[in-house]
Amino acid sequence: MPSPRFRIADAPFDIAPLHARLQHERAGACASFEGRVRDHNDGRPVRGLRYEAYVELAEAEGARILDEALARFDILEACAVHRTGELAIGELAVWVGASAAHRDAAFEACRWIIDEVKARVPIWKHERYADGEADWLHPCQTDPSEP
């Protein structure tokens, strides 16, 4: 059985097998996205963060997003992984990749998938700030200041 197209990872993950999964003889183009922990958010210095997921529902909703992307765009394959747990500055939080015959579809699908993951998948970010405070992020809508 192939690995699922969307996965929650509770530890650091390799991107090489994800890239390998996107390879296809007809694939001329592969677009990918890495989201990493920044040292600031909305101007506030960030020391580190934690992601929590409702894993069962997150993996189901993530799989739905990937299926929708394969139906909506002229792509050959796509997959994504999102981390949970404690992450340090610079650590990889989310990875998305899409392969296609042509670059338009690869870029559009990759961008659409990360937008949908951020909007729909039950994952929450808890940020620890340099001033000692910490908070859950519950944006009112898709926050344009997000990476």
Partner 1 sequence: MARVTLLYFASLRDAAGAASEPLETAAPDLVALYAEAQARHGFALPVERLRVAVDGAFADWRDAVRDGSEVAFIPPVSGG
Can you give the binding site for partner 1, defined by CB under 8 A? Answer: 35, 51-54, 56-58, 60-61, 82, 93-94, 114, 117-126, 136-140, 143, 146-147
3-state SS, residue 111 = helix
Residues 81, 15: Cα–Cα separation, whole Å: 9
- Tokens coding 147: 């990476």
Candidates 9, 29, 55, 60; binder of a copy of itself (CB under 8 A) is 29
3-state helix, strand, coil in the chain (%, to 5): 30, 40, 30
Least gap, CB of 27 to a copy of itself (angstroms): 6
CB atoms within 10 A of CB 57: 12
71's contact among partner 1, a copy of itself, none, with CB below 5 to 8 A by partner kind, is none
23 is written with which tokens? 């390879």
Single residue of 107, 126, 128, 129 touching a copy of itself by CB under 8 A: 107
For residue 35, the minimal CB distance to a copy of itself (Å) is 6
d(CA 99, CA 79): 9
Contact residues for a copy of itself, defined by CB under 8 A: 19, 23, 25-40, 89-90, 100-103, 106-107, 110-111, 114, 144-147
